[in-house]
Structure 1
Amino acid sequence: MAKRNTLFIRIVEGKNLPIKDITGSSDPYCIVRIDNEAIIRTATIWKTLSPFWGEEYNVHLPPSFHTISFHVLDEDSLSRDDVIGKVSINKEALAAKPQGLDGWVNLTEIDPDEEVQGEIHLQISVLGDIPRILRCQVLEARDLAKKDRNGASDPFVRVRYNCKTHESAVIKKSCYPRWNESFEFELDDAPLDTPLSVEVWDWDLVSKNDFLGKVLFNIHRLQSAHQEEGWFRLVPDKPKHSQHEGTLGSLRLQLRLRDETVLPSGHYQPLTELLCQSVGPHLNGNWPDLIMLVDETTTAESRQEVASNLVKLFLGQGLAKEFLDVLFKLELDKTSEPNTLFRSNSLASKSMESFLKVAGMQYLHRLLGPLINRIFEEKKYVELDPNKVELKEAGCTGLHRVHTEAEVIQQSTSLLQSYLSELLHAIVQSASYCPVALCQAFQQLYQCVNKRFPEPEYRKVKFIAVTSFLCLRFISPAIMSPKLFHLREKHADARTKWWCRTLLLLAKAIQTIGNLDTLTCCSKEPWMVPLQPAIQLGITQLKDFIIRLVSCDNSEDLGLQQRMSLQCGSMEKEGFILLHRTKDKSMLMTSPFKKYYVSLNKDTLSYARTQHSKKSSFISLPRIRAVEKVEEKSFGSANVMQIISSRDNGLVEKLYLDCKSVNELNQWLSALRKACSHNTDTLSSYHPGIYKGDRWSCCHQKDKADPGCDKTKHGVTLQEWYDPLDPDLESQLIYRHLIGVRQAMRKKYQEMIKPEEEDDRETFEGEKKLDGVTRLFSVLQDLQNSHTAVEEEERLKSRNFLLELQT
């Protein structure tokens, strides 16, 4: 049994943001934090007060997280970025809405007294009879907020009880201080409801001290237990009323928290077997099958998630082709007008879309990567619409003469024709390396549509069915938003708007080609006419490509291929990165980082000076004991991570990687944590600082072998398209969905199986007992009983634990 917390995040857009630049606008971006730890940075949207991001993430979290917050900032190239505001949502608010949150949320002012983080280790006890003494032992703290310019704080503790106050010593330049001090108060003369307050502050010589957080204790409850010890989360002071409330703009967010209890594999086997049988060819044409019922009862809000879960489950079982085949036939049976085929967001459309993203992303990267990089590197201004041409952005033809509108459009047409030609050439050449899974899915789709609409007047429909997915739902969205498809890792600079327009026009052209119709597009947008010859040639090339694609003889075992390539998964990641390996050396005073090409595969993390160097060093993944962030003050960079591994002699070795951005940092952290998820000898604590001079920079401990002052956060990972499949989790997610629509399924099932003739009722009842849908309800009930038993066991453990504390 395992606990899985998955948080879906979609940062949609913002509106009414305040002006931060002298241009009368702002350049906003978002930083997403989990308990004050930055995990995501969105793209910067330039010169707007109503930015649209549309970025989606799935984050796997440990059950202990408390809050997710969205900080909106204005990017400045010459000075520190301006803070606009934030939105904070706690775990309880997310858990209270299992269907998720979707709407506009007002930004609030960022109050330093509310920006607290970290935990404090305390031991509180009641001693003696007369007089009774309250003793508060302040041991240590960890992960405190950084309030000083040196990237640390100077913390001290202030303990208050019954109008009396004690203060600890100040620990200089540390977010992981250790005090080991005790403070005592007399209890007898204090009212029963008097709380014990433990506050942590950052000491400042010149300005006022900064508040770092506090913990309150109910002494009346404590007296019955006599002693309480542990790590306590610091909380902010009472929030102040903001004078800017309602004036900082708002964010539109979509959030959904999934707290799953995943049972051992054996519990899901009956459900998996039943689903696999439901796509078998022997059931087609018999009683209404299970997939049809799922299709009929899945709502529009949950369709994308259900489609993704089903695709991953059938991919893991090597039955994705059979599953999609059933959906294609169900969709075709419901469609009478061929021009609307697969244009809605049906379960078939969403499943095929998910299938392309899971099974075809490597293909997409190989197909589009060179062209997207060329567009970003050339930085050419492109515009065809005369109403949108900006001559000052287009530059000059000579020393003083500015381009004319006609010259801009002519140059843009030439560039777009060049980009389009390169893209179509890449698509035609991709027939040789298109994955077998994709080829067979498109082949099946092409044949099903051709069989359903064989009439001559519908001869284009079978091609459009393929292009509606390949071009309109896969290639075109990736061109318009390369970052969302991992085609671009870093954010572009202020000239992004030029590239966005170039990408949009190119995506429009490929959409027109995918529709196999130039007239409609050119009649609605006449300024697209200059591209018409290139588009017409592209239609011919695309049709030839589809014929080649669906005519391939893919005779190899597709199911085996899917299981080998997808069920096991691939956590491969590579790229140039700044790296420093300590071994037994002391930390250098100068910058120790050098550029290496780092590569992660299923067994090792290797690095060399060049991509194709024969000489390289490597770390075996089973030897990795922790993968964690490093404090900013350690190297003067906020994006440094460390890989802690063990050597043959048992000594610990650290490898430091300096990443270009918070996104690259978290991609490497996430990939390594997932690749090492089954390691057994992992650390529970680590040092977020470095050993420099004769002590750790984080907690000032002098013992180099000290086990660590902060707990590891190895549970936080980002879900990526290349993640290995998790059959148990997918089965659990499908089970949860089916339980939620069980009553709707029963009702729909009764409608679908009602016999037309009364005389057939006896035969029908005999078959009903054996059909797959009836067995499904039994399987779901068994799984629900198993979950109930597990939850009851957890409740008993919690109750017994509380009883032990009281005794």
Structure 2
Amino acid sequence: MAKRSTLFIRIVEGKNLPVKDISGSSDPYCIVRIDSEAIIRTATIWKTLSPFWGEEYHVNLPPSFHTVSFYVMDEDSLSRDDVIGKVSVTKEILASKPQGLDGWLNLTEIDPDEEVQGEIHLQISITNEETSRKLRCHVFEARDLARKDRNGASDPFVRVMYNGKMYETTVVKKSCYPRWNESFEFEIDETFADNTLIVEVWDWDLVSKNDFLGKVLFNISKLCSIQQEEDWFRLIPIKPKEREDEGNVGSLRLQLKLRDETILSSNYYQPLTELLCQAVKTNVNCSQSDLIRLIDETTTAESRQEVATNLVKLFLGQGLAREFLDVLFKLELTKTSEPNTLFRSNSLASKSMESFLKVAGMQYLHHVLGPTVSRIFEEKKYVELDPSKVEIREAGCTGLHRVQTETEVIQQSTQYLQSYLTDLLHSILKSISHCPPIVRSAFRQLYERVQERFPDKEFRKVKFIAVTSFLCLRFFSPAIMSPKLFHLREKHPDARTSRTLLLLAKTVQIIGNLDTLASRSKESWMVPLLPAVQQGITQLKEFITQLVSFEEKEDLDLQDKLSLQSSSIIKEGYLFLHKTREKGMLISSPFKKYYVTLRSDTLSYAKTSSSKKSSFIVLSKIRAIEKVEEKSFGNSHVMQIISNDDNEQNEILYMQCKSVNEFNQWLSALRKSCVHNSEMMSSYHPGVFKGDKWSCCHQKEKTASGCDKTQHGVTLQEWNDPLDPDLESQLIFMHLFRVKEAMREKYHEMTTEKDKRNYIGHAEDSQKNAVVSQLFHVLQDLQDAHEDVKRSEKQKNKNFLQDLQT
């Protein structure tokens, strides 16, 4: 059994932001932090006070997280970025809104006394003596304190206060992971009105005033009943003041939804998985699946995308993704009488195929679109075909300027777009061998099903359009229009590049519709591209014919699919690496550039992507993947990979990334690839062992226990995540249980319709009835198992509290 929290984040837009630049505008972006950990950086939207981001993320979190914060920043190329304001949302607020939070939240200015983070390890005890009672506070250590000094650390000390008396620990210089191990004793005064022990952490400063790092409060009356308490305590800020500035620095529109899941062991989900697989397999024998039809017709529009993704991943893990899609293709074709509307709605079939392409074909998309999109970003050509939007611009060399006419601008723009389209079509035509076999197989199946349903000559284009409606309209075009959301680029395009991408995406859509008349009727200004569009239609039909006609022997069985998955590349790219010597001392040479490749079993690195000689780490030997303090290397985007060598000794590989997003993408990919490692470390050193001590906590033993806790549970969801059958089964169970009554009603309606048609049942239909009936029993069994877990946890918590009191 495992617990898992997932936070859906959509950073929509901002408004009324203050001016931060001399140009009278700002260049805003957002940083998202989970507690103190920065996990997301949005793209910068240039020169605006009302930015639109529209970026979505799913973040896996440990259930112990407290707060998610959104910092709106103004990017500056010459100085440090300015903080515009922030919004913080606690876990309690998110948990109280199971349907999610959606709305405008006011930004507030940053108050240094509220910017606290980290935890402190304390032991508080009460002893009874003959004439008095003593309160003893033992201050052990702290971790992950806020960095207040320019050197990337702090000089922390602790102040302990009770009954008008105050004690202070020694100051630990240049550390956010200080160790004090000091004790302080107070005499308990029963008459003292304020019965509170206050423990504060401060950053000592020689010249300016000390900076507040956080505090912990203890009620002495409650402590008297348990006598002693020892734990890591989260530091909290000074009591928030009434904010006069709230709303004066703008607002942020956010959509947030927190979901906590208890993942049971695999054997609990096996009956559900077997039923779903059985429902899909019956379709292979030309028997329509009532169970899949039930799911299709009871899934609401709001949850359809999520359910489709979960089902696709589950069936991919079972080697039945193509068969599952085939069931949905048949259902959609049965309901469709007008070929022009085929797969144009957001049905479960459409959403499932869309999700399937993203899960199985994202590398293919990058191979096809990457070069053309990069060229458009780099060239930044002015492209416009709509006369109402043409900007008359100067042309020619300095001193020989003349104004271009509208006709010249459109002619030049047409040439640019034709050039981009030619490159893109060439890339598509040459990409058949790069298209994953399972994707080709799904398209062939779709092509054949549509041909069977609409065999007449008048509908001969429909089978092509069925393929292009997914490949072009739902896959290629959205990625061209929003390359950042498909990880084709790190940043959003500027206005000029965005317009070029939009026009290219429109052209691809027209070609995907296989109808040149569409451009004349809707946007007549696209007419100059018609020759290129007509040629593109011919080439695309030829491409689809080749794509769906590969030999049957190229198809993959389950074993081949699993081996393909195990050997496929999860992530790759150039990074800077830094290795440690056997004795743990850092090599004096700087970080060196390597091409790093993450597969499901190894992390390898070589001088170039084509190098034959490479080094590698077996993922099963990795014990931790964690951040490194900025002061260690003067860079905030460094992670450490701690692994065991052949002698079971720890080795550390440092990886330096160029941005927050790249750092977290690699960190997430590595953590998810090591999710089943059984010997992961619970603590680590966020600093480096240099000279004779650790730079983080100043311990002098190289093998000393870590001073910070590891964060294996913080990851970003990506389309190429390793398949997790238990998780997908849990998510599908939760959905089916929510719509269970709707499924009962729908199934009753379906059987009633058959009776009205004088439908005569036989053994096969009795088997279908048994499958649907069995589903309701399986769902109830899973619900009962979850209730048992809840009762068991309540009893454990009750027993724990009783033990504390005794």
Identify the TM-score tier after normalising by the shorter chain. Answer: over 0.9
Whether the 8 Å contact between 1:146 and 1:153 is mirrored in structure 2 is yes
Q: Deviations over 1:525-564 (max 9, x none)?
A: 3332221211111111112222222233334453426741
Specify the alignment match of 2:303 in structure 1.
302
Question: Does residue 739 of structure 2 align to residue 738 of structure 1?
Answer: no
Q: Quick one: which amino acid aligns to residue 602 of structure 2?
A: T
Does the C-alpha gap of structure 1 residues 402 and 727 become closer, same or farther in structure 2, counting only changes over 3 Å? farther
Paired with 2:756 and 2:639, the residues of 1 have a C-alpha distance of 72
Deviation at 1:162, TM superposition (A): 2.2
Q: Deviations over 1:406-430 (max 9, x none)?
A: 4433332212111101111121222
Question: Does residue 61 of structure 2 align to residue 66 of structure 1?
Answer: no
Question: Does residue 318 of structure 2 align to residue 314 of structure 1?
Answer: no
Paired with 1:565 and 1:414, the residues of 2 have a C-alpha distance of 45
Paired with 1:263 and 1:284, the residues of 2 have a C-alpha distance of 33
Q: How many residues align?
A: 803
Whether the 8 Å contact between 1:605 and 1:619 is mirrored in structure 2 is yes
Whether the 8 Å contact between 2:282 and 2:288 is mirrored in structure 1 is no
Deviation at 1:399, TM superposition (A): 5.3
Deviation at 1:433, TM superposition (A): 3.2
Does the C-alpha gap of structure 1 residues 570 and 425 become closer, same or farther in structure 2, counting only changes over 3 Å? closer
Deviation at 1:26, TM superposition (A): 1.5
Specify the alignment match of 2:90 in structure 1.
90
Whether the 8 Å contact between 1:315 and 1:562 is mirrored in structure 2 is no
Specify the alignment match of 2:274 in structure 1.
273
Q: Deviations over 1:750-775 (max 9, x none)?
A: 22212665897997999489432111
Specify the alignment match of 1:179 in structure 2.
180
Paired with 2:423 and 2:433, the residues of 1 have a C-alpha distance of 17
Question: Does residue 36 of structure 2 align to residue 36 of structure 1?
Answer: yes
2:8 aligned counterpart, secondary structure: strand
Whether the 8 Å contact between 1:324 and 1:348 is mirrored in structure 2 is yes
Paired with 2:583 and 2:767, the residues of 1 have a C-alpha distance of 74
| 1:385-424 equivalences in 2 (<5 Å) | 385-390=386-391, 396-397=396-397, 400-401=400-401, 404-405=404-405, 406-424=407-425
Deviation at 1:298, TM superposition (A): 0.8
| 1:424-435 equivalences in 2 (<5 Å) | 424-435=425-436
Paired with 1:674 and 1:233, the residues of 2 have a C-alpha distance of 27
Q: Quick one: which amino acid aligns to residue 33 of structure 1?
A: R
Does the C-alpha gap of structure 1 residues 88 and 629 become closer, same or farther in structure 2, counting only changes over 3 Å? same
Deviation at 1:710, TM superposition (A): 0.8
Whether the 8 Å contact between 2:4 and 2:61 is mirrored in structure 1 is yes
Specify the alignment match of 1:803 in structure 2.
802
Whether the 8 Å contact between 1:321 and 1:440 is mirrored in structure 2 is yes
**Deviation larger for 250-259 or 166-175:** 250-259
Whether the 8 Å contact between 1:437 and 1:562 is mirrored in structure 2 is no
Query: Which residue, out of 637, 651, 656, partners 2:635?
Result: 637
Deviation at 1:96, TM superposition (A): 2.4
Paired with 2:560 and 2:487, the residues of 1 have a C-alpha distance of 22
Q: Quick one: which amino acid aligns to residue 662 of structure 2?
A: E
Specify the alignment match of 1:780 in structure 2.
779
Does the C-alpha gap of structure 1 residues 545 and 71 become closer, same or farther in structure 2, counting only changes over 3 Å? same
Deviation at 1:59, TM superposition (A): 1.7
Whether the 8 Å contact between 1:319 and 1:559 is mirrored in structure 2 is no
Query: Which residue, out of 579, 583, 593, partners 1:595?
Result: 593
| 1:646-725 equivalences in 2 (<5 Å) | 646-725=644-723
Question: Does residue 367 of structure 2 align to residue 381 of structure 1?
Answer: no
Paired with 2:426 and 2:151, the residues of 1 have a C-alpha distance of 54
2:486 aligned counterpart, secondary structure: coil
Q: Deviations over 1:469-507 (max 9, x none)?
A: 11010011111122221222x337xx7333222211111
Deviation at 1:209, TM superposition (A): 1.8
Does the C-alpha gap of structure 1 residues 653 and 440 become closer, same or farther in structure 2, counting only changes over 3 Å? closer
Paired with 1:665 and 1:276, the residues of 2 have a C-alpha distance of 38
TM-score (norm 1): 0.94
| Consecutive unaligned residues in structure 2, runs of 5 or more | none
**Deviation larger for 720-729 or 567-576:** 567-576
Whether the 8 Å contact between 2:280 and 2:289 is mirrored in structure 1 is no
Question: Does residue 502 of structure 2 align to residue 501 of structure 1?
Answer: no
Does the C-alpha gap of structure 1 residues 28 and 284 become closer, same or farther in structure 2, counting only changes over 3 Å? farther
Deviation at 1:218, TM superposition (A): 1.2
Q: Deviations over 1:428-457 (max 9, x none)?
A: 222333222222222222233233334444
1:87 aligned counterpart, secondary structure: strand
Deviation at 1:678, TM superposition (A): 2.5
Does the C-alpha gap of structure 1 residues 50 and 347 become closer, same or farther in structure 2, counting only changes over 3 Å? same
Paired with 1:53 and 1:312, the residues of 2 have a C-alpha distance of 28
Deviation at 1:712, TM superposition (A): 1.1
**Deviation larger for 61-70 or 768-777:** 768-777
Specify the alignment match of 1:614 in structure 2.
612
Does the C-alpha gap of structure 1 residues 534 and 761 become closer, same or farther in structure 2, counting only changes over 3 Å? closer
2:484 aligned counterpart, secondary structure: coil
**Deviation larger for 334-343 or 24-33:** 334-343
Q: Quick one: which amino acid aligns to residue 148 of structure 1?
A: D
User: Considering only aligned residues, what root-mean-square deviation do their CA atoms show, in Å?
Assistant: 2.5
Deviation at 1:39, TM superposition (A): 0.8
Does the C-alpha gap of structure 1 residues 93 and 567 become closer, same or farther in structure 2, counting only changes over 3 Å? farther
Q: Deviations over 1:246-267 (max 9, x none)?
A: 2222222222222111111111
| Consecutive unaligned residues in structure 1, runs of 5 or more | none
Paired with 1:614 and 1:445, the residues of 2 have a C-alpha distance of 40
Paired with 2:371 and 2:759, the residues of 1 have a C-alpha distance of 63
Question: Does residue 541 of structure 2 align to residue 543 of structure 1?
Answer: yes
Whether the 8 Å contact between 2:637 and 2:660 is mirrored in structure 1 is yes
2:548 aligned counterpart, secondary structure: helix
Does the C-alpha gap of structure 1 residues 626 and 658 become closer, same or farther in structure 2, counting only changes over 3 Å? same
Specify the alignment match of 2:100 in structure 1.
100
Whether the 8 Å contact between 2:60 and 2:714 is mirrored in structure 1 is yes
Does the C-alpha gap of structure 1 residues 434 and 198 become closer, same or farther in structure 2, counting only changes over 3 Å? same
Paired with 1:433 and 1:612, the residues of 2 have a C-alpha distance of 18
Paired with 1:83 and 1:617, the residues of 2 have a C-alpha distance of 42
Paired with 1:742 and 1:786, the residues of 2 have a C-alpha distance of 17
Specify the alignment match of 1:140 in structure 2.
141
Q: Quick one: which amino acid aligns to residue 710 of structure 1?
A: D
Paired with 1:213 and 1:69, the residues of 2 have a C-alpha distance of 17
**Deviation larger for 725-734 or 510-519:** 510-519
**Deviation larger for 576-585 or 530-539:** 576-585
Paired with 1:298 and 1:618, the residues of 2 have a C-alpha distance of 45
1:56 aligned counterpart, secondary structure: strand
